[in-house]
């Protein structure tokens, strides 16, 4: 055998083996590098993921602070309740789960589905509240079937409770669930699904004080989501209490005095601007908002033609009627168009600018000076004064006295009202102002629009002889907490540097208001023995005199809105009361007796101290 054939050539095999060796070495290196990255570099990340597979974090809702009246009576409290939440991470078949949960909780499946859809952007492990306000009896069937429904979680949470029901509902406001859009709009805040926040009233204005700080609990769970142990807990911190200027007894009397009629009663301290009572009817029970409305229930409430959610005290716009004669009197005196002794003869009617104008008292009042005209609410006197002043001077006087602007009360949604002028009409309606329109404005009709709270603030200004005090509801909060209206834009700022008119002008007007109540005038229905009530009545004409007479002949009664606004006592006044009764007729017959009840109760409380 030839020698060269004794050994086989293995060079190719060696090269291939060498290649395989380096490939395997590279793979082993890569694998070891990957394991090193997981175990050393990213160990915190994967440790957290592993921990998340066996732990669950739940928010512990903070109890809201209490809301009290000025004497400590609790108007908004908290009570314990149960809520049921759904965790999508524990669901295998969503449709089957929704159907089963709907049967268990007696909730419509479509309602459940829309609820889940509303929070579809949340993480799968975050609970979605599907029902709350439950008792221990309500949740017993859920707890007994926990293994069957691992997607359901039952929690205890504090729930807002209004022990007085509908009392002061428009002042207190109501809570509603924070929407997904609101949660996304506050990325820096740890907002949670199902969180209830103030939407109106004091609950909204002072939500930053009342809401408190949520706590949290971290639980160890098994593969079915069952709690096995508690790993960590951070207790919630209750919100701060808010004390209001309201007097519970006066508020209750104000609401009772309306006797179910649409209208408003406002009582305030003219010295400080503290609101003692603010009643608006029809009203609502804020407890209804604690548990979630169905769409049908919400539409029924919002579409109610009586608008029970509307706070008429700050959002209702009405012609002031003869209450505006206080503005006319102060403007006439302040700008020199009349003196307290200026006399006008009232025969029951007069012809101005080619049209016959009537006084409400058909036989006529005879010769009237300013205090007589206020006492008897004589239209002829103020028609004459209106013609002398003109619309722009009337508008100037009204502006000085605070009409046509917000009072600055610490409630959201206050309206400004409207004081017309020639410039306003040209700018908004593109037509000139006609002198005949001034005559209607002079007795509080025409385009004039005010809120009842503006009239209360005007009356307080008169009672104080020109000194202003901003109406407000907030009395005190925890030390170091700044409080103020959530949407305060500076309108209706508190006190002006100077009174709008000289004190002597106010004294003349007050004399007429005193005679209106105590000397047989139109406000005599508000008379209280020994209290020296001063006041002015008003009736808002809803249709023209001619139309009213025509409707009366047809057997149809058209009633005006009824006004009264006054204060007591005459010297060193302590309370202002403003009443508006929609479709109540004459102010002296309807609104003044309502005010008398408030004055009487206030007088008894003072004497009882």
CATH assignment at residue 146: 3.90.1310.10
What stretches in the chain show pLDDT beneath 70?
1-9, 45-54, 180, 183-194, 221-228, 292-295, 477-497, 542-558, 607-609
Which of 223, 244, 265 lies at the terminal end of a domain, its last residue? 244
Burial class (CB in 10 A: 0-12, 13-18, 19+), 288: middle
Q: Are residue 188 and residue 335 in the same domain, yes or no?
A: no
Task: Tell me the three state secondary structure of residue 55.
Answer: strand
CA distances from 342 to 110, 328, 348 (A): 73, 14, 18
23 is a domain residue: no
Q: Residue 469, Cβ neighbours under 10 Å: how many?
A: 20
Which of 495, 389, 387, 402 has its CA nearest to residue 436?
387
278 is a domain residue: no
The pTM (predicted TM-score) of the whole model is 0.82
Q: Are residue 224 and residue 368 in the same domain, yes or no?
A: no
Which of 221, 244, 267 lies at the terminal end of a domain, its last residue? 244
Task: Tell me the three state secondary structure of residue 295.
Answer: helix
52 is a domain residue: no
CA 65 – CA 210 distance, rounded (Å): 5
25 is a domain residue: no
CA 436 – CA 333 distance, rounded (Å): 22
Bridge partners of residue 281, in order along the sequence: 263
What local confidence, expressed as pLDDT, does residue 97 receive? 85
480 is a domain residue: no
First-last CA distance in the chain: 137
What local confidence, expressed as pLDDT, does residue 49 receive? 53
Bridge partners of residue 579, in order along the sequence: 265, 564
What local confidence, expressed as pLDDT, does residue 505 receive? 96
CA 382 – CA 439 distance, rounded (Å): 8
Q: Are residue 512 and residue 430 in the same domain, yes or no?
A: yes
CA distances from 528 to 9, 597, 600 (A): 130, 9, 7
Q: Residue 26, Cβ neighbours under 10 Å: how many?
A: 10
- The answer to whether residues 411 and 473 touch, using CB atoms and an 8 Å cutoff, is yes
Bridge partners of residue 575, in order along the sequence: 568
What local confidence, expressed as pLDDT, does residue 378 receive? 97
Which of 244, 265, 297 lies at the terminal end of a domain, its last residue? 244
CA 215 – CA 190 distance, rounded (Å): 11
Q: Are residue 316 and residue 221 in the same domain, yes or no?
A: no
Check the CA dihedral 277-283-285-290 and report its sign: negative
Bridge partners of residue 86, in order along the sequence: 128, 152
Q: Are residue 587 and residue 499 in the same domain, yes or no?
A: yes
- Which backbone phi and psi does 54 adopt, to 5 degrees? -120, 0
β strands within 416-471, DSSP E: none
Q: Are residue 442 and residue 567 in the same domain, yes or no?
A: yes
Provide the total of helices (H) and of strands (E) in the chain, helices listed first.
22, 20
CA distances from 356 to 352, 508, 547 (A): 6, 29, 15
Q: Are residue 368 and residue 451 in the same domain, yes or no?
A: yes
- Domain of residue 435, CATH code: 3.40.710.10
110 is a domain residue: yes
CA-derived radius of gyration, the chain: 36
Q: Are residue 96 and residue 212 in the same domain, yes or no?
A: yes
CA 524 – CA 593 distance, rounded (Å): 9
Q: DSSP of 405-419, one letter per residue?
A: S----SSTT----B-
CA 175 – CA 374 distance, rounded (Å): 45
Q: Are residue 95 and residue 193 in the same domain, yes or no?
A: yes
Q: At what angle do helices 136-144 and 94-105 cross, to 10 degrees?
A: 140
Q: Are residue 446 and residue 557 in the same domain, yes or no?
A: yes
- The answer to whether residues 567 and 553 touch, using CB atoms and an 8 Å cutoff, is no
What local confidence, expressed as pLDDT, does residue 488 receive? 47
Per residue in 183-220, pLDDT (tens digit) is: 666 655 555 666 788 999 999 999 999 998 888 888 77
Q: Residue 108, Cβ neighbours under 10 Å: how many?
A: 11
Range of the domain at 559: 311-473+495-608
320 is a domain residue: yes
What local confidence, expressed as pLDDT, does residue 31 receive? 85
Q: Active site residue: 85, 97, 322, 516, which one? A: 322
Q: Are residue 352 and residue 213 in the same domain, yes or no?
A: no
CA distances from 158 to 12, 130, 166, 290, 500 (A): 81, 16, 20, 11, 50
Tokens of 322: 């003869």
Q: Are residue 390 and residue 511 in the same domain, yes or no?
A: yes
What local confidence, expressed as pLDDT, does residue 177 receive? 79
276 is a domain residue: no
Total domains, the chain: 2
Tokens of 558: 């058209």
| Residue 422 among the catalytic residues | no
């Amino acid at each position: 055998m030839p020698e060269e054939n004794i050994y086989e050539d293995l060079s190719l095999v060696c090269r291939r083996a060498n290649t395989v060796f380096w490939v395997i070495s590279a793979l082993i290196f890569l694998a070891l590098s990957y394991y090193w990255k997981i175990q050393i570099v990213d160990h915190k990340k994967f440790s957290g993921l592993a921990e998340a597979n066996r732990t669950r974090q739940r928010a512990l809702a903070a109890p809201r602070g209490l809301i009290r009246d000025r004497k400590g009576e609790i108007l908004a409290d908290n009570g314990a309740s149960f809520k049921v939440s759904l965790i999508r991470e524990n669901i295998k078949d969503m449709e089957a789960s929704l159907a089963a949960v709907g049967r268990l909780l007696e909730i419509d499946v479509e309602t459940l589905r829309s609820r889940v859809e509303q929070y579809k952007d949340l993480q799968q492990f975050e609970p979605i509240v599907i029902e709350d306000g439950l008792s221990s009896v309500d949740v017993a069937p859920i707890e007994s079937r926990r293994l069957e429904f691992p997607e359901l979680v039952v929690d205890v949470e504090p729930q807002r409770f209004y022990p007085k029901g509908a009392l002061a509902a428009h002042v207190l406001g109501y809570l509603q669930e924070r929407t997904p859009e609101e949660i996304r709009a506050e990325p820096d805040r740890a907002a949670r699904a199902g969180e209830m926040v103030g939407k109106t009233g004091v609950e909204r204005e002072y939500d930053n004080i009342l809401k408190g700080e949520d706590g949290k609990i971290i639980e160890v769970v098994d593969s079915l989501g069952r709690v096995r142990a508690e790993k960590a807990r951070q207790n919630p911190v209750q919100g701060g209490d808010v004390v209001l200027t309201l007097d519970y007894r006066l508020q209750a009397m104000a609401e009772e005095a309306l006797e179910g009629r649409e209208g408003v009663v406002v009582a305030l301290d003219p010295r400080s601007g503290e609101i003692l009572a603010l009643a608006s009817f029809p009203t609502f029970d804020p407890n209804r908002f604690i548990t979630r409305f169905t769409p049908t229930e919400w539409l029924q409430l919002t579409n109610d033609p009586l608008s029970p959610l509307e706070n008429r005290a700050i959002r209702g716009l009405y012609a002031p009627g003869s209450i505006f004669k206080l503005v006319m009197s102060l403007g006439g005196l302040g700008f020199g168009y009349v003196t307290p002794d200026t006399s006008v003869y009232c025969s029951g009617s007069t012809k101005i600018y080619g049209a016959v104008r009537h006084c409400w008292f058909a036989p006529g009042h005879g010769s009237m000076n300013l205090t007589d005209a206020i006492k008897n609410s004589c239209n002829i006197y103020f028609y004459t004064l209106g013609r002398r002043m003109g619309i722009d001077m009337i508008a100037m006087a009204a502006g000085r006295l605070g009409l046509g602007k917000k009072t600055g009360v610490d409630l959201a949604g206050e309206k400004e009202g409207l004081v017309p002028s020639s410039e306003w009409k040209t700018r908004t309606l593109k037509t000139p102002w006609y002198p005949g329109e001034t005559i209607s404005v002079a007795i509080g009709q025409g385009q004039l629009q005010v809120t009842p709270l503006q009239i209360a603030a005007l009356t307080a200004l008169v009672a104080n002889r020109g000194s202003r005090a901003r109406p407000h509801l907030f009395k005190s909060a925890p030390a170091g907490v700044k409080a103020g209206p959530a949407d305060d834009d500076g309108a209706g700022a508190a006190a002006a540097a100077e009174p709008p008119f000289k004190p002597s002008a106010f004294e003349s007007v007050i004399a007429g208001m005193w005679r209106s109540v105590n000397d047989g005038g139109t406000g005599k229905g508000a008379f209280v023995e020994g209290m020296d009530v001063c006041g002015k009545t008003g009736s808002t004409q809803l249709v023209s005199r001619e139309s009213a007479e025509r409707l009366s002949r047809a057997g149809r009664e058209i009633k005006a809105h009824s006004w009264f606004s006054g204060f007591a006592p005459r010297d060193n006044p302590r309370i202002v009361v403003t009443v508006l009764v929609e479709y109540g007729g004459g102010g002296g017959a309807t609104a003044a007796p309502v005010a008398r009840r408030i004055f009487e109760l206030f007088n008894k409380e003072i004497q009882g101290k």
